[in-house]
Amino acid sequence: MGAKAPAGTGGGGLNLITASLGGAALLAGLALAGFGAGLSAWAGVRQNAGLARIGRRALYAAAGAVLLASAALEWALLDHQFELAYVTEHTDRSLPWPLLASAFYGGQEGSLLYWTLVLAVLGSAAVAAACRSGLRLRAYATAVLSALAGFFLAVLVFVASPFDLLEVTPPDGLGLNPILRDGGMLIHPPFLLAGFSSFAIPFAFAMAALLAGRYDAGWLAQTRRVALVAWSLQTVGLTLGMWWAYHVLGWGGYWGWDPVENVALLPWLATTAYVHSAQVQERRGQLRAWNLGLVVGAFLLAIFGTFLVRSGALVSVHTFAVSDVGPWFFGLLAVLLAFSLGVMAWRSGSLRSPRPLESAVSREGAFLLQNFLLVGLVAAVLWGTLLPLLSGLFGAQRVVGPPYYERVSGPLFLVLLLLLAVGPLLPWRRASRGWWRALGWPSAAALLALGALAGAGVRGPGLIVLPVLAAAAVTSVRGLRPWPWVWRHRRVYGAYMAHLGVVVVAVGIAGSHFWQSERTVTLTPGQSVTVAGHTLVYAAFGERPGTVREQFVTLGMGEETLQPARAFYPGMGGQAVSRVAIRSTPLEDVYVVLNDAAADHATVTVFVNPLVTWIWAGAAILVLGILLGNMGSVAPAAVPVRARVAAAAT
Amino acid sequence: MTWLFATVLLAAAAVYVLWPLIRHWEDEAGD
């Protein structure tokens, strides 16, 4: 760390240099992105390779400028440069350096800069890797990505600069929100924001394909790969968000159907649909317009979500990142919607599929049904999220909670899981008369699970969900059979592995949802409480003094001890944050929250959450499957699907 | 100072971005 000037004296010229350099890098980035967008679009129209090359270099240079601005902000944060309003508002001297570094994306302006950084760097990498996509497609993709980067840079320069200076330098900062002072802060936001941002890349390639009039295998392979990158980042981000909520918020769950969670789920659902329906286009040349619509829709949902979160239009647990950028994002959404609908309408004639669906009972039919279910989920979640806004416009505000989402999404998820068991067993084009014989193993697994559960006295929805999951697990595991050729068939392997990951996640969600036990109790020393067979004895109360005061109780559970605590942040108005105590095993978590404590009593809530660790393990299998399935493969050259299908048929 | 830095950065970036064009002109001048 550099030597600091005495507190309150104004910091010194070096600190002003950081702010000036950061601001200058944003300005230079804006100019370069604007130049790159215009020149690349012109290069696409003129089909001029030289201009296209200069346009690409402008995008790379803009990415370099954003990288420089990011480095300047990181330096200012780590160096406690409280001359910068952003550093003062989001850090203080007590923060350890990893949390200081993570404050980069802990506030509105910094997280926008992080968005821009991911967009510019990943966008540049995607454009650089698209050397076999054809001149026009690559040039238009560069233009769209540069224009989007230019928009974010304009917001950073004119509305939400992280380099704004304070008139008087305070001796210390206000500090990071206590909920964000956790290890989860180091991993969840970077992945989720990167996921959100990277949906722009498949969007850019989709728009470029439309502008260039090319919807062939080259476009498809390119877009599918970048969509999978965005989807994987979002999967990791969502899972880490669930894990963080579970470990930090202290309500015993991991998904609360909070508006911000919902808007992060929407583009993920749309892209899940796309990575499946893209295979129909790849194999059969069908669903071109639908696929383009999904890619465009996923990005528009990401921007819409960003608008909702950052404008403060919706109340959420994530409201620490609200400012006046709302109208800008609303404007961007309107422009993108008009632009994409306009281009799709212009190209609608050439987007028609060369052949219709031959039979509903086919792999294509299964993919299509899966897509409809996912789009249905998007609509249901979107409606629930927007209802408070829409109803507020016409009278009393109506809010729907978890019961609505669970009632609506539960049946859709169940059919999706059933498709996981049946879909991979269906042949392409049309199923022959005896295709249902392939269902023997999964059906046997489902019946066996049903018998075992009924025999064990299980009743309720779990009796339906678990047999379906057993069938899906058998289909997925049987897909992994030919072990010696894993690498050669890695794409199929990766897909089945991802399916298996989904099944494992679903088992975890079903277990913790249907069989969670909960009890809130006030104990005096020596008293005990028993929840789902686990007896906890109140052993002791203690306090840890310090700038962040902590109260904790020690509870004995057999030979183990659990220590739930509450931390009080005097600098944040005495805000108290729960420190949950969790004892995890593969079968269940004992999860204890301290609500209130004094020397003579403690009020705790004890949850026993079955199978929660399966959710984290399943998500890891899912992402590993996607990585395995797409590792090392080279994007195919631009061969038209029609020609490829014709060649395969001969 | 921000504008000064921005000008320097843009000048450096311009050399990188326009390098293919500069090389093209050099080649033409050499011919």
DSSP string, A196-213: HHHTHHHHHHHHHHHHHT
Using CA atoms, how far apart are residues A597 and A592, in angstroms rounded to an integer?
Answer: 13
Nearest CA of chain B to the CA of A74: how many Å? 18
Handedness of CA A492, A497, A502, A503 (dihedral sign): positive
Among A465, A462, A495, CA closest to A477: A495
Give residue A505's pLDDT.
97
* Each residue's pLDDT tens digit, A241-300: 999 999 988 888 899 998 889 999 999 999 999 999 988 888 887 888 888 999 999 999
Average pLDDT over residues A372-399: 90
Contact of A479 with A491, CB cutoff 8 Å: no
Q: What is the DSSP string of A301-358?
A: HHHHHHHHHHHT-S--TTGGG--TTHHHHHHHHHHHHHHHHHHHHHTGGGGS-SS---
Give residue A482's pLDDT.
64
Using CA atoms, how far apart are residues A557 and A543, in angstroms rounded to an integer?
Answer: 21
Q: What are the structure tokens assigned to A147, written together?
A: 């224009």
Question: Mean pLDDT of all residues in chain A?
Answer: 87
Compare all CA atoms of chain B with the CA of A36 and give the residue at the minimum distance. B17
Residue A318, C-beta contacts closer than 8 angstroms, at least 6 positions apart: A258, A260, A309
Using CA atoms, how far apart are residues A464 and A481, in angstroms rounded to an integer?
Answer: 27
Question: Mean pLDDT of all residues in chain B?
Answer: 87
Average pLDDT over residues A187-200: 91
Which of B5, B17, B21 has its CB closest to that of A24? B5
Is the ipTM of this structure higher than 0.85? Answer: yes
* Each residue's pLDDT tens digit, A117-157: 999 999 999 999 988 888 999 999 999 999 999 999 999 99
Q: What residues of chain A lie within 8 A of the CB of B20, using their CB?
A: 50, 53-54, 57
Element (H, E) at A648: helix A641-649
Using CA atoms, how far apart are residues A289 and A292, in angstroms rounded to an integer?
Answer: 5
* Each residue's pLDDT tens digit, A562-582: 999 998 877 666 678 889 999
Which of A17, A24, A58 has its CB closest to that of B9? A24
Sheet harboring A581-584: ordered strands across? Answer: A517-523, A601-610, A588-598, A581-584
What angle, 0 to 180 degrees and rounded to 10, lies between the N-to-C axes of helices A462-479 and A490-514?
Answer: 160
Among A23, A19, A20, A55, CA closest to A38: A55
Going by the DSSP 8-state scheme, the letter that residue A287 receives in this structure is -
pLDDT at residue A36 greater than cutoff 90: yes
Q: What residues of chain A lie within 8 A of the CB of B17, using their CB?
A: 32, 35, 54, 57-58, 61
- 8 Å CB contact of A27 and B2: yes
pLDDT at residue A649 greater than cutoff 80: no
Average pLDDT over residues A34-57: 96
Among A563, A546, A579, CA closest to A178: A579
Using CA atoms, how far apart are residues A330 and A629, in angstroms rounded to an integer?
Answer: 37
- 8 Å CB contact of A54 and B17: yes
Burial class (CB in 10 A: 0-12, 13-18, 19+), A116: buried
Q: Is B28 on the interface with A (CB under 8 A)?
A: no
pLDDT at residue A643 greater than cutoff 50: no
Contact of A211 with A140, CB cutoff 8 Å: yes
Compare all CA atoms of chain A with the CA of B11 and give the residue at the minimum distance. A28
Give residue A648's pLDDT.
39
pLDDT at residue A388 greater than cutoff 80: yes
Average pLDDT over residues A89-103: 92
What is the amino acid identity at position A279? Q
Element (H, E) at A589: strand A588-598
Among A224, A221, A223, CA closest to A208: A223
Using CA atoms, how far apart are residues A136 and A147, in angstroms rounded to an integer?
Answer: 16
Among A115, A131, A155, CA closest to A56: A131
Compare all CA atoms of chain B with the CA of A53 and give the residue at the minimum distance. B20
- 8 Å CB contact of A50 and B21: yes
Using CA atoms, how far apart are residues A516 and A522, in angstroms rounded to an integer?
Answer: 20
Contact of A141 with A208, CB cutoff 8 Å: yes
Give residue A557's pLDDT.
93
Q: Is B22 on the interface with A (CB under 8 A)?
A: no
What is the amino acid identity at position A501? G
Give residue A556's pLDDT.
94
Average pLDDT over residues A193-197: 91
Q: Is B10 on the interface with A (CB under 8 A)?
A: yes
Nearest CA of chain B to the CA of A125: how many Å? 16
pLDDT level of residue A322 (50, 70, 90 thresholds)? low
**Using alpha carbons only, what angle is made at residue A295 by residues A290 and A301, rounded to the nearest 5 degrees?**
115
- The neighbour count for residue A307, using CB atoms within 10 Å, is 20
* Long-range CB contact pairs, A538-547, < 8 A, 24+: A538/A602, A541/A597, A541/A598, A541/A599, A541/A602, A547/A94, A547/A571
Going by the DSSP 8-state scheme, the letter that residue A489 receives in this structure is T
How do A565-569 and A601-610 pair as beta strands?
Answer: unpaired
Which of A17, A23, A32 has its CB closest to that of B13? A32
Which of A16, A27, A61 has its CB closest to that of B6? A27
- 8 Å CB contact of A61 and B17: yes
- 8 Å CB contact of A20 and B10: no
- 8 Å CB contact of A28 and B24: no
- The radius of gyration of chain A from alpha carbons, rounded to an integer in Å, stands at 27
- 8 Å CB contact of B4 and A31: no
Going by the DSSP 8-state scheme, the letter that residue A637 receives in this structure is P
Q: What is the DSSP string of A71-109?
A: HHHHHHHHTT-TTBHHHHHH--TTS-HHHHHHGGGTSHH
Q: Is B18 on the interface with A (CB under 8 A)?
A: yes
What is the amino acid identity at position A289? A
Residue A227, C-beta contacts closer than 8 angstroms, at least 6 positions apart: A199, A202, A271, A274, A275, A278, A295, A298
Phi, psi of A480 (to 5 degrees): -90, 15
> A240-260: string of b/e by CB count within 10 Å (b at 16+)?
bbbbbbbbbbbebbbbbbbbb
Q: How far is CA A93 from CA A16, A395, A571, in A?
A: 19, 47, 12
Give residue A318's pLDDT.
60
- 8 Å CB contact of B6 and A17: no
Give residue A515's pLDDT.
92
pLDDT at residue A6 greater than cutoff 70: no
Nearest CA of chain B to the CA of A23: how many Å? 6
Compare all CA atoms of chain A with the CA of B19 and give the residue at the minimum distance. A54
Q: What are the structure tokens assigned to A513, written together?
A: 């949802």
Q: What residues of chain A lie within 8 A of the CB of B8, using their CB?
A: 24
- 8 Å CB contact of A61 and B19: no
Which of A16, A50, A61 has its CB closest to that of B13? A61
Q: Is B31 on the interface with A (CB under 8 A)?
A: no
Handedness of CA A418, A423, A429, A431 (dihedral sign): negative
- The radius of gyration of chain B from alpha carbons, rounded to an integer in Å, stands at 13
Q: What are the structure tokens assigned to A26, written together?
A: 């944003």
Which of B9, B19, B24 has its CB closest to that of A28? B9
- 8 Å CB contact of B4 and A24: yes
Please give the share of chain A, as a percent, with pLDDT higher than 90: 60
Contact of A387 with A395, CB cutoff 8 Å: no
